[in-house]
Amino acid sequence: MAANDLDAGGRWLRLADGLFIPGKKGSICALILAQFVFVLLVWGAGKAATQLAQNGSALARTSLGSGFWLAAALALLACSDAIRRISTHPLWRWLLHMQIAIIPLWLLYSGTLNDLSLMKEYANRQDVFDDALAQHLTLLFGAVLPALVIGVPLGIWCYFSTARQGAIFSLLNVIQTVPSVALFGLLIAPLAALVTAFPWLGTLGIAGTGMTPALIALVLYALLPLVRGV
C-alpha cells in the first residue's frame, strides 16, 4: 500500500474519531462524513452506470435501486441531524443544508450521471419532461401565492374575533373532507358557465377543465392549515 493511501486513511480515521467527541466539533465531523458518503454514493452510481454502458448494449439502462435510495436517505438524515446540533440559527442551518447539493449538482452538470436511466430518458424526451416541470411549477406557485394572499388576512381576521372562527373553520373543514375528484367535478359547471358568459376569459386559459379547477382546488385545500397557522 502506498504511503499516500496510508496517510489518507489515517486522516479519515482521525475524522471518524471526531464522531465520539461531544459538542460542536463532533457534529462537524459527523456532517463531513455523512456528506462524503452521500457524494460518494452519487458519484459511484454515475461511474458504475458509465462502465455498464460501455460494456453492455446501447439499449441497456442502469437505474438506481432501493439500496441506493436507502443509503442516500440515511446519509441525508445524518447530515440533517448534525446540522441541527451544529447551529440553532435558521440562516446557518439553511446554508449548511444548501451546500450539501453543490457537489451532486456539479456531478449532474458535468455529465458524470448521464448514463443513468433517468438521465437517458430525460435526454430522449426532454420536451415532455420540461412541459411537465413547467406545469408542476405553475400549479405550485399558482396555488401557494393566492392561498397566502387569502389565508393570511383571513387568519388575522379570525384571530381578533373568536366569534368568526366557528363559521370560517367549519367551512374550511368541510372543504377538506371533499375528495379532490368530486371538487374538480363541482368546479366544472361554474367555470364553464363563467367562460360562456365572458368569452375573453378563455383567452387567459380559464376553462372548466384543465389547470383552472386544479389551481382553485389546491388553493381551497391550502386555506385551512394557513388560517389555523396564523
Does residue 163 carry a pLDDT above 80?
A: no
Is the model's pLDDT at 11 over the cut of 80?
no
pLDDT tens-digit series, residues 32-72:
888 999 999 999 999 988 888 887 666 677 888 888 899 99
Q: What is the DSSP track for 17-51? A: HGGGS-SHHHHHHHHHHHHHHHHHHHHHHHHHHHH
Task: Output the pLDDT for position 105.
Answer: 93
If pLDDT is split at 50, 70 and 90, which confidence band does 1 have? very low
Whether the pLDDT of residue 197 is over 60: the answer is: yes
d(CA 104, CA 110): 10
Q: Is the pLDDT of residue 12 over 80?
A: no
Kindly report the number of other CB atoms within 10 A of residue 188's CB atom: 14
Name the residue with cell 458519484: 43
State the average pLDDT for the chain.
82
Task: State how far the alpha carbon of 125 is from the alpha carbons of 46, 118, 119, 161, in Å.
Answer: 20, 11, 10, 54
Q: Is 147 left (phi over 0), alpha (psi -120 to 50) or beta?
A: alpha
87 DSSP 8-state letter? -
Q: How does pLDDT run across 99-147, given as a tens digit for each residue?
A: 999 999 999 899 888 888 888 888 888 888 888 888 888 888 888 888 8
